[in-house]
Amino acid sequence: MLPYIGRRLLQSVPLLVGVSIIAFALMHLAPGGPLAVYTLNPTITNQDIERIRIVLGLDQPVHVQYFKWALGMFSGNWGNTFFGGRPVLDVILERMPATFLLMGSALSLAILIGCTIGVLGAIRRYSVFDMLATSGAMIALSFPTFWFGLMAIYFFAVKLGWLPSGGMNELGEEGNLLDTLRHLILPVMVLALVITAIWSRYTRSAFLEVMHQDYMRTAKAKGLHARQRLLSHALPNALKPLIALLGIELPALFSGALVTETIFGWPGMGRLFVDALTMKEYPILMGMIMFTALFVIAGNLIADILIAALDPRVRLS
Amino acid sequence: MAEAVLRAEKLGVAFRIPGGRTKAVDGVTFELRHGETLGLVGESGSGKTLTSLALMRLLESPPAELSADSIVFEGRDLLGLSEAEMADLRGARLSMIFQEPMTSLNPLMTVGRQIDEPLVRHLGLSAAEARARSEALLARVGIPRPSEAAQRYPHQLSGGMRQRVMIAIALACRPSVLVADEPTTALDVTIQAQILDLLRELQDELGTAILLITHDLAVIAETAHRVAVMYAGRIVETGPVAALFATPLHPYTEGLLRSIPRITRIREAELPEIPGMVPAPGQLPAGCAFAPRCAFADAACHAERPTLMPAEGGREVACWKPRHG
């Protein structure tokens, strides 16, 4: 097991290097270059811009810039923001809890509901329930997330007035858990909807595939009860593709959170990213790309390790 | 004559198809006696495997529909049992092994745990007792270093070893009937012989009756006491192995026996074969299903379907013009 983990860790190094080159190139390839925020500002003189260029080391050759930047990323110095001059890492980390609260709640809810729907659909294939679940999932997948977000705000916040339309807390209610929960409901619902649809489809097909395997017939021929066949034979085998899915779906979860946070004014990393984009805050954008890349790579690594723990055949190859 | 432990009366398996139903197994009647091996032989598609799954009530329904007058096992009609009562019998009194030892074992579970399961389920053993018993079973089916082998996963064992594990699982609770569906088909010839020897030994030891399903007449000749020959979903001939092989009554049985390759015949001529194909279920002719391929068929054969009729020496044949008759 340990050599396998070591090998997988080594494999993620070139991946990270690749992502870092893209993140770095982004700044230079963007219209207006890295200092667009200053050059487009009429109140800043050319002399000032030249001075900033030298201070930020932008006068040095590109590869030197990259290595200095990469070294900084590695040692925890992610640079400072253009606006406010605060350390980028601090700015990102301070938005992290809000995003993780939103993503974590939506993902747990979606997996719980999606897997249940999927297993029931697989057990009662072609039943009325299965048909409804299938068409429901198709509808959920066919509409864009922002549309669901706007509809949710329109009905639950504007028409019915049950829930707040955005933000994480009412003014002066920061730290009030109940207030946060009330604000959490709509964005979690919207973000979870699409993930639930995806999970119900994947779970259904994973279980259907497993339930027709020969070893399931063997389990029945042994006289095992339906519950035991499901839990000790079908589940571990069906879990494998689902764990892999969890790793693969992480980037989609991030982009979903980005849209949801923007619509609901949720003060998380997704909104930070969108705001940074409009403000040409390249230090934050580069930091965010590296942060999500790290997170996704780590998530896939954990998924692979879990699969290896489940399936002895994976450890060998 | 020993008493029957399992008797199937007019067993049938049908599938619903667009515009009706098609019978894949039709009116199959046979009995299995204590401690004997009954060979069920036939070509692919003759309904052997469906018959065996129907006995275990393991058919997927839908699409398959099981029908029978009765399937009496140890004095109880299996058709009248609830699914829970059936589950109590499966793996305990009535076991089954399958053709593909490769895919019939759960790849994520050690073989030890897979043998433990029926012991815990049916005999109520504790985990430790079950494991001790499982290791003894592994040793009994000829697997070296059983306590080590119990920790192995199926992919770490060879095909023959996996089939030995399947046999250990099936016989763990000393069932009175073992249904073996092509147990040696996926194995090398040398391994085949070992597995058949093992089944014979265990049968002598436990008194288990075996329903041996195969397309391989050599396996039948070596292992079975009696044979039932299936064609197009029906039994066409039954009888003791020696008599049936010496003087086949049904032209289909005769054709099967003649098409076995023999070393002494290699240079003489081409291997005789039965012309044509097994008819698909739902496309059976009105008369004898074998008539279109039969060299001896006449108008009567094409007109009316023969039923199983008693013949000499406790044999039965469904043919209007039996051979050697």
Is residue A83 a part of any domain in this protein? no
Same domain, A114 and A54: no
CB A118 within 8 A of CB A130: no
pLDDT digits (tens, 9 = 90+) for B200-242: 999 999 999 999 999 888 889 888 999 999 998 899 999 999 9
- CATH code (residue A258): 1.10.3720.10
pLDDT of residue B122: 93
Q: Which of A75, A106, A123 is the last residue of a domain?
A: A75
Distance CA B179, CA A173 (A): 71
pLDDT of residue A220: 93
Is residue A305 a part of any domain in this protein? yes
Is residue A82 a part of any domain in this protein? no
- DSSP lists the bridge partners of residue B231 as B234
Neighbours of B171 (CB within 10 A): 24
pLDDT of residue A80: 82
pLDDT digits (tens, 9 = 90+) for A211-265: 989 999 999 999 999 889 988 999 999 999 999 888 888 888 888 888 999 998 8
Interface contact B104-A311, CB threshold 8 A = no
Chain A interface includes B122 (CB < 8 A): yes
Same domain, A159 and A121: yes
Distance CA A214, CA B49 (A): 14
Same domain, A290 and A210: yes
Same domain, A118 and A229: yes
Contacting B with CB below 8 Å, chain A residues are: 213-215, 217-225, 228, 232-233, 236-237, 310-313
**Could you list the residue range(s) of the whole structural domain that residue A32 is in?**
2-75
For residues B100-128, give the mean pLDDT.
92
Is residue A86 a part of any domain in this protein? no
Interface contact B106-A218, CB threshold 8 A = yes
pLDDT digits (tens, 9 = 90+) for A31-41: 777 777 787 78
pLDDT digits (tens, 9 = 90+) for A129-149: 999 999 999 998 888 888 988
Is residue A85 a part of any domain in this protein? no
pLDDT grade, residue A173 (50/70/90)? confident
Interface contact B104-A237, CB threshold 8 A = no
Same domain, A18 and A123: no
pLDDT of residue B265: 58
pLDDT grade, residue B311 (50/70/90)? confident
Distance CA B255, CA B257 (A): 5
pLDDT grade, residue A171 (50/70/90)? confident
Distance CA A11, CA A3 (A): 12
pLDDT of residue B260: 77
Same domain, A126 and A239: yes
CA of B109: which chain A residue's CA is closest? A233
Give the residue among A100, A196, A105, A190 at the shortest CA–CA distance from A145: A190
Q: Does residue B95 register a pLDDT over 80?
A: yes
Distance CA A242, CA A206 (A): 8
Same domain, A43 and A116: no
Interface contact A214-B91, CB threshold 8 A = no
pLDDT of residue B106: 94
Of B92-106, B158-172, B298-312, where does mean pLDDT reach its minimum?
A: B298-312
DSSP string, chain A: -HHHHHHHHHHHHHHHHHHHHHHHHHHHHSTT-TTHHHHT-TTS-HHHHHHHHHHTTTTS-HHHHHHHHHHHHHHT---B-TTT--BHHHHHHHHHHHHHHHHHHHHHHHHHHHHHHHHHHHHTTTSHHHHHHHHHHHHHHHS-HHHHHHHHIIIIIIIS--S-SS-SS-TT-TT-HHHHHHHHHHHHHHHHHHHHHHHHHHHHHHHHHHHTSHHHHHHHHTT--HHHIIIIIIHHHHHHHHHHHHHHHHHHHHHHHHHHHHHHT--SHHHHHHHHHHTT-HHHHHHHHHHHHHHHHHHHHHHHHHHHHH-HHHHH-
Same domain, A125 and A42: no
Q: Does residue B1 register a pLDDT over 60?
A: no
Provide the number of CB pairs (under 8 Å) joining chain A to chain B: 76
Interface contact B90-A220, CB threshold 8 A = yes
For residues B14-19, give the mean pLDDT.
83
CB B246 within 8 A of CB B60: no
Query: Which residues on chain A are in Cβ contact (under 8 Å) with B16?
Result: none
Q: Does residue B2 register a pLDDT over 70?
A: no
In percent, how much of chain A has pLDDT > 90? 27
Distance CA B82, CA B163 (A): 30
Is residue A125 a part of any domain in this protein? yes
pLDDT of residue A49: 85
Of A129-133, A207-211, A280-284, B94-98, where does mean pLDDT reach its minimum?
A: A280-284
Same domain, A166 and A26: no
Chain A interface includes B119 (CB < 8 A): no
Interface contact B108-A217, CB threshold 8 A = no
Same domain, A60 and A198: no
Q: Which of A75, A108, A138 is the last residue of a domain?
A: A75
Among the partner residues A221, A233, A310, nearest to B58 by beta-carbon distance: A221
CA of A240: which chain B residue's CA is closest? B108
Amino acid at A1: M
Q: Does residue B325 register a pLDDT over 60?
A: no
In percent, how much of chain B has pLDDT > 70? 97
Q: Measure the CA dihedral B70/B73/B76/B82, to 10°.
A: -80
For residues B290-296, give the mean pLDDT.
86
Give the residue among B255, B230, B313, B243 at the shortest CA–CA distance from B46: B230
Q: Does residue A203 register a pLDDT over 90?
A: yes
Number of domains in chain A: 2
In this prediction the pTM is 0.80
Q: Does residue A109 register a pLDDT over 90?
A: yes
pLDDT of residue B65: 87
Is residue A89 a part of any domain in this protein? no
Which residue's structure tokens are 């998924």? A303
Phi (first) and psi of residue B262, to 5 degrees: -125, 140
CA of A239: which chain B residue's CA is closest? B108
Q: In what order do the strands lie in the sheet with B94-97?
A: B94-97, B177-181, B209-214, B37-41, B226-231, B234-240, B315-317, B309-311
Among the partner residues B90, B104, B108, nearest to A310 by beta-carbon distance: B108
Same domain, A28 and A158: no
Among the partner residues B109, B122, B156, nearest to A223 by beta-carbon distance: B122
Q: Which ipTM value was assigned to this complex?
A: 0.87
Smallest CA–CA separation between A245 and chain B, in Å? 19
pLDDT grade, residue B263 (50/70/90)? low
Interface contact A221-B103, CB threshold 8 A = no
Is residue A67 a part of any domain in this protein? yes
pLDDT of residue A11: 87
Q: What is the mean pLDDT of chain A?
A: 87
Amino acid at B30: F
pLDDT digits (tens, 9 = 90+) for B23-50: 888 889 999 999 899 999 988 888 888 9
Which residue's structure tokens are 């979870």? A192
Q: Which of A44, A75, A106 is the last residue of a domain?
A: A75
Same domain, A55 and A117: no
Distance CA B40, CA B212 (A): 6
